[in-house]
Amino acid sequence: MEIITRQKIIDDLAPKKFGWRGRVWVIVLLIFCFIGLVAYLLQLSKGLVVTSMRDYASWGIYISNFVFFVAISLVGSLITAVLRLTNVHWSTPLTRIAEIIAVSAITFASIIIVVDMGRPERFYNLFTHGRLQSPIIWDVVVITTYFFISILLLYLPLLADFNILLQIKKRTGSRLNKLYSFFGSFWKNKPEQIKINNRSIQILSITIIPVAFAIHTVTSWLFATTYRPGWDSTNFGAYFIAGAFLVGSGAVLVAMYIFRKAYKLDKYITNDHFDRMGKIVVMLALVYLYFNVNEFLAPAFKMKKTEEGYLHGLFTGVYSRIFWFALSTAIFIPILILVNKKGRKPLPAFVAGCLVVIGSWFKRYLIVTPTLLNPLLPMRDVPDSYRHYFPSWQEWAIAMGSLAGMMLIITIFARLLPIIPIQETIDEMEEHEKD
């Protein structure tokens, strides 16, 4: 095995400037964000009528995007906290990627929910007139809490890395140096500091897990506390969390591959990492499949009158194509790819990860719309457009813009911070050399 020196690690992992590919990527993302912003300004001036949402389909892809973002944000707790607590070491290179994805996702979850509001300028009412009985208030509290915890979990392990980066001042630009010293100049690698920091990270890892469970359970209760067919399910908390872990780990597969390619990190994100991550995705996909079976088979067995239209719509009707497409791309095909050892090589694993993310997005759409278009009383005395829902161009623009925004924040983080924890990698290497 090639011996990697400490200096080499630092050289490899320090943030690098963008090449032409990086710049094109950022520009494309900025274009999407800009179009989204324009569409939002249109929405602000004319009202939500620019969307295709109407009285029956009163929630649309803004809300499904919101659920999607919250789901992805759970990856931070999975990779960083769970794997850390179980003393798994191979996942160390992936922890920062996971935390960055988590922070960006939770930021955009908050943004997209404000976009969905009919009166965003009254946002402060949530704080001045909030009702504790409302699941939305629970969601606001938990999302805020999770946001701060994720930031802490991103920040604390960064302290050691800031120190290292400050030592190679000449390589990094003066602006980045200012950033690093502002956030981490007090880190002197003293043993007491290391001890306190490690304990803090340990406490955080423990705390973040119930908070992560809470955030997605509460989000699922935005649906499960109603009487609607498809939402009136006791399964929702666990079902959503299983789906969240799946899409989070799929997103990590995608990010792993891209960063490895972009920054030539083959020595740090090895084929072995893809292999193990692939196995995790298979396991999570099977768990999610299990919850899907529970969610659909039991009601289908009964075919209650209120749920009949909804279930038929999903299995054989209007939504069947999306339904089977989503299940295939999120669950079946990734399992088929990743179950095979050859499928867990970097490129196939990346493809499987992409499929998981895409399929999961459509799955979130299927959670929101079919239920709303199957109300308990017939749809009557409304214009024809109220009976269907296909997002308008403004909704697509804003939804894509928010996804682009999330990726933009990840990209910016990757530019500013070492995408793989330097100090921990060095520690691992030194541990490894001792053996």
Partner 1 sequence: MSTSDTSRRDFLAAGLLAGAALTGCSGNENPFDKAQKSGMITPTGKTVKLLSVDGEVVEMDEAFLRPVSDLPPVSNAEARVGIPGKKFVMVIDLSRCKSVKACQASCNHAHELNPGENWIKVNVMQDAEYTAPYWQPTTCMHCDEPPCVKVCPVDATFKREDGLVLIDSDRCIGCRFCMAACPYTTRVFNWEAPQIPKEMAAKPYSCETSTPQKIGTVSKCDFCADMTRKGELPHCVSACPNGVFFFGDMIEDTVSNGAETFRFSELIKDKAGYRLMEDLGTKPSVYYLPPVNRNFPFEDKEDSLGEKKDKIKS
Partner 2 sequence: MLAFFNEACLSQAAKNNLILGLGYFNSNNQVQYLKASTKSKINGKFRPVGDIPVRYYISSEDPANLLGKAVTNDKGIAHLFIPPSAAAAWKKSAKQSFLVVSDSTKEYDGVHSNFDLTKSRIQIDTLPDRQIQATFSEFRDSVWVAVKGVDMKVTVKRLGGDLNVNETPTYTTDSLGLIHADFKLDKLPGDSAGNLTIIAEVDDNDVYGNLTTEKSVPWGEPTQYVSSYNQRSLFARRGWSPLWLEWMAYSIIAVVWGVMIYLFFQIRKLKKLA
Decide: 211 and 149 in contact? Cβ < 8 Å.
yes
Q: Does 348 bind partner 1 (CB under 8 A)?
A: no
Binding part of the chain for partner 1, among 42-50, 247-255, 314-322, 326-334 by CB under 8 A, reads 42-50
In the bound complex, what is the minimum distance in angstroms from residue 315's beta carbon to partner 1?
A: 23
**106 alpha-carbon distance from chain centroid:** 7
209 binds partner 2 (CB under 8 A): no
Work out what residue 141 binds among partner 2, partner 1, none; the CB cut-off runs from 5 to 8 Å by kind: partner 2
- Binder among 34, 186, 290, 393 for partner 2 (CB under 8 A): 186
Say which entry of partner 1, partner 2, none residue 390 contacts (CB below 5 to 8 A, set by partner kind).
none
Least Cβ distance, residue 318 to partner 1 (angstroms): 16
**DSSP codes, 243-273:** HHHHHHHHHHHHHHHHHHHHHT-TTTS-HHH
**Concatenated DSSP letters of 101-134:** HHHHHHHHHHHHHHHH-S-GGGTTHHHHS--TT-
Distances in Å between the Cα of 85 and the Cα atoms of 50, 91, 196, 242, 253 are 47, 11, 17, 19, 21
Query: Which stretch in 81-89, 109-117, 190-198, 241-249 sits in contact with partner 2 by CB under 8 A?
Result: 190-198
Determine the Cα–Cα distance for residues 167 and 392; give it in Å rounded to an integer: 52
Examine residue 20 and tell whether it contacts partner 1 (CB under 8 A). no
Task: State the sign of the Cα–Cα–Cα–Cα dihedral 391, 395, 397, 400.
Answer: negative
Q: How far is the CB of 303 from partner 2 (least distance, A)?
A: 31
Among partner 2, partner 1, none, partner that 228 touches (CB below 5 to 8 angstroms by kind): partner 1
- CA–CA distances in Å: residue 180 to residues 82, 188, 261, 262: 28, 13, 26, 23
Contact call for residue 141 and partner 1 (CB under 8 A): no
Stretch that binds partner 1, among 123-131, 289-297, 324-332, 421-429 (CB under 8 A): 123-131
Q: What is the three-state SS of 210-221?
A: HHHHHHHHHHHH
Q: Do 143 and 102 touch, CB atoms closer than 8 A? A: no
Give the residue, chosen from 94, 98, 102, 140, that forms a contact with partner 1 under the rule CB under 8 A. Answer: 140
Q: Which residues bind partner 2 (CB under 8 A)?
A: 129-133, 138, 141, 145, 148-149, 152, 156, 159, 185-188, 190, 192-193, 196-197, 199-200, 203-204, 207, 211, 214
Q: Which residues bind partner 1 (CB under 8 A)?
A: 46-49, 51, 53-56, 58-59, 116-120, 122-123, 125-126, 129-131, 133-137, 140, 222-223, 225-228, 372, 375-384
